[in-house]
A and B are shown apart, each in its own frame.
Chain A
């Protein structure tokens, strides 16, 4: 035993010595890195006057600045294709701003989280599906304040975007993200495979209500036994929301119906709308209209393979979006009319960016430069798309090229700053972007639009409630759990976990926000 102790102490001595040496190394490193940091942050503002700013955007050693852009994709990212697109985009940005773009696209929330938490120097970051949303970006200090940058370099954005759209990205009067010029509003309902409807002789125009949808699903079950009538929108029972509540993102605190003027915060899972929805799905499940394993499946594109219908967001141009992604013609059945609750999403400039002014200029360019926007969204001309005609407003996929992103470059227009200045895909409505504008302008705006719930003081309750929700919500929504038995337990557990404390706090904050407006 004594022997071991001696050996141990020797080991510790070596360890301590090493720690000292390494500590010294670390000490040497630090000033260097913080030096570059401060250098980056205090870089002189670059004027936005075309070509003559090249000299200023270059680093001390004459290198061209490379801006790192993090885009979103639904498909597995294909690095070669993304690099090719970044290179094509760089040609434009080099000419316009004297910067180059390095790009990645990803959909994995854990990777996003890691990229932000590690302080990696991204310059523009797509916050779609970032865990915790704008609230987490701000409390963790990930996102830079944008007001000054936007005022100075973002004229193109200010001209094109109504302020109300940015309200939901503004926290305590400070703007942290800018939603994309895409679908700030959404309608919801079902997408159905048109070929199957045609085959069974069902007239799409006649599908208007929940009962109509039910009848169609029953007919599909009888007529096409090889298909599941209703499948999840994505893996693990993913479901585009059809209940029009305003979600405050905290364990179930919502405004029950954005189409009323009520600003009373309630528990979503105790509402009639939720119960009715679950009862309907339970009934459908019993009738065999829903894919078995829908809550555990790990497949994302079930409509492409085994499904006839799923829940979808609906907007002008959705048909062509589905066609691009899944290669099928879809019929959309709108059950929830268009509404807007905190447009959200969009992009931010991470706090760790060392070229914030340039990033804002690039962002503005993405909003205003048709060619650049087109490249970022649709890819490289000739490789990923080509013009259909001389007018250059409609594009098609070149022979043998796949647009779904599995082998090519996924064209996902809403995930980029401004899709409304880009070309329309063949088969889409040439007026698509104008119709989208009209759609957003006429959408119902939630009475709580612009309010962001600060959950800091009720974090314990939110964590507990989130766990209760994952226990019951998906099973109830897909009709695997009997609502008569489960919903009362669900509500009781939520209340025991403090949902009412959350609601109370949310109501106080919401009332204060509305009063200050």
Chain B
């Protein structure tokens, strides 16, 4: 114990630096958590958050007692799995390619161009997509398709294309950011490893396979674990704004978030919308914990905690 106190005394500036972030986290993330009770209540402002009548799990029913329960769960999970896997593969590929570029100015230019979409709001992205896909004036229907002699396609009424469009947009938008994380790890890899490999006669591909990827392993695991926690959530902008809330697309664009929004925006039920949030968080929490357990079993040093 005395040793511990001594340690704290010795490193006190570090603990002090930790303080603002911790306070922020508590105020912003932990205190509001008590509001979770609203998911189990028939909320009304007069009685307030904590004193509205309790109704048990009734708020959760609407998520399961609908024919769409399967559809929205399937869409949410499948899209997220594709985003996680494809996103990681492409981001790593781009990071490795970036690392191979030797001219500094070119490297920075590429990095900036790849990152820009991440900084654009989803609402703006939806207009960009609309410029391509609009029935009457879209770039695809007016310019690209006629070049190949294909009839115009009514994109916002054609659900079969949207899984690809959504994946494309999500990857295009997200790749810059996740690629930076991988790229930073790659930059941190000890150069002597590569030098040794060159001495041993390894070609570029063998270097990537035997040095870069193994060194990236823990970053990949951490990022994937964190993404798994959000597997029951979806980017509302991507699934609601980008398809312009078009009805005929709903079978492929409806996720838990958009379902809750569409269903409850008109009835304004705070308890039920909170219940959906709680459900998503609890499932995400369980997934992260269990995935981490598995990772720890396989390779303890890579586990998140």
A residues contacting B by CB (< 8 A) are 1, 4, 6, 8, 10-11, 14-15, 18-19, 22, 26, 109, 113, 116-117, 119, 130-132, 135-136, 139-142, 236, 249, 291-293, 295-296, 298, 351-352, 455, 459-460, 462-464, 466-467, 470-475, 480-481, 493, 496-497
Contact = CB atoms under 8 A, between A and B. Distances in A.
B45 A14 contact: no
Contact of B263 (A10, A292, A463): A463
A259 to B, nearest CB: 26
Interface in B62-86: 62, 65-68
A467 B248 contact: no
Contacts of B130: 296, 298
A1 B300 contact: yes
Contact of B244 (A19, A236, A481): A236
Contact of A296 (B18, B65, B246): B246
Contacts of A475: 157, 246-248
Contact of A474 (B247, B254, B266): B247
B61 A132 contact: no
B15 interface: yes
A26 B27 CA distance: 11
Interface stretch (B111-119, B175-183, B202-210, B268-276): B268-276
Interface string B258-294: 0100111111111010000000000000000000000
Contacts of A116: 45
A455 B22 CA distance: 44
B300 A295 contact: no
A462 B267 contact: yes
- Top 4 nearest A-B pairs (CB, nearest first) are A132-B268, A141-B44, A463-B263, A136-B268
B45 A131 contact: no
Contact of A466 (B23, B251, B267): B267
B26 A22 contact: yes
B30 A466 contact: no
Nearest to B266: A466
A24 to B, nearest CB: 13
Contact of B262 (A19, A142, A466): A466
A296 B244 contact: yes
Nearest to A464: B66
Contact of A18 (B8, B26, B127): B26
Contact of B265 (A22, A131, A460): A131
Contacts of B31: 19, 22, 26
B247 A4 contact: no
Contacts of A474: 247
Given A10-B8, A460-B65, A470-B245, 19 more contacts: A14-B19, A15-B22, A22-B23, A113-B268, A131-B265, A136-B269, A141-B46, A292-B134, A296-B134, A463-B66, A463-B272, A464-B66, A466-B266, A467-B68, A467-B254, A470-B262, A475-B246, A480-B248, A496-B67
A459 B266 contact: no
A425 B245 CA distance: 38
Given A15-B22, A236-B245, A475-B248, A460 B267 contact: no
Interface string B38-58: 000001111100000000000
A354 to B, nearest CB: 14
A8 B43 CA distance: 36
Contact of B62 (A130, A135, A463, A470): A463
A19 B26 CA distance: 7
Contact of A464 (B25, B67, B135, B266): B67
A467 B264 CA distance: 9
A474 B267 CA distance: 19
B156 interface: yes
Nearest to A137: B268
Interface string B155-171: 01100000000000000
A471 B250 CA distance: 6
Contact of A459 (B8, B22, B262, B272): B272
B52 to A, nearest CB: 8
B44 A11 contact: no
A136 B269 CA distance: 7
Contacts of B272: 459, 463
B32 interface: no
B248 A292 contact: no
The A interface, classified by DSSP as helix, strand, loop or mixed, is helix
B128 to A, nearest CB: 13
Interface residues of B, number: 53
Contacts of B22: 11, 14-15, 18
Given A14-B22, A463-B263, A141 B45 contact: yes
Interface in B223-260: 244-248, 250-251, 254, 259
Contact of B154 (A15, A109, A139, A480): A480
25 contacts: A4-B305, A6-B4, A11-B18, A22-B23, A119-B45, A130-B268, A132-B266, A132-B268, A136-B268, A136-B269, A139-B44, A139-B269, A141-B47, A142-B45, A236-B245, A295-B247, A352-B45, A460-B62, A463-B66, A463-B264, A466-B263, A466-B267, A470-B247, A471-B248, A472-B248
B267 A132 contact: yes
Contact of B67 (A15, A19, A497): A497
A18 B23 contact: yes
A292 B19 CA distance: 57
Contacts of B67: 464, 493, 496-497
A113 to B, nearest CB: 7
Contacts of A464: 62, 65-68, 263
A434 to B, nearest CB: 36
A26 B34 CA distance: 14
Contacts of B27: 22
B136 interface: yes
Nearest to A294: B135
Contacts of A249: 266
Contacts of A136: 267-269
Contacts of A22: 23, 26-27, 31
Given A293-B134, A459-B62, A475-B248, A467 B26 contact: no
Contact of B46 (A18, A19, A351, A460): A351
Given A14-B15, A22-B26, A470-B247, A463 B270 contact: no
A462 B268 CA distance: 12
Contact of A467 (B8, B23, B65, B259): B259
A8 to B, nearest CB: 8
A346 to B, nearest CB: 18
A295 B156 contact: yes
A493 to B, nearest CB: 7
B267 A463 contact: yes
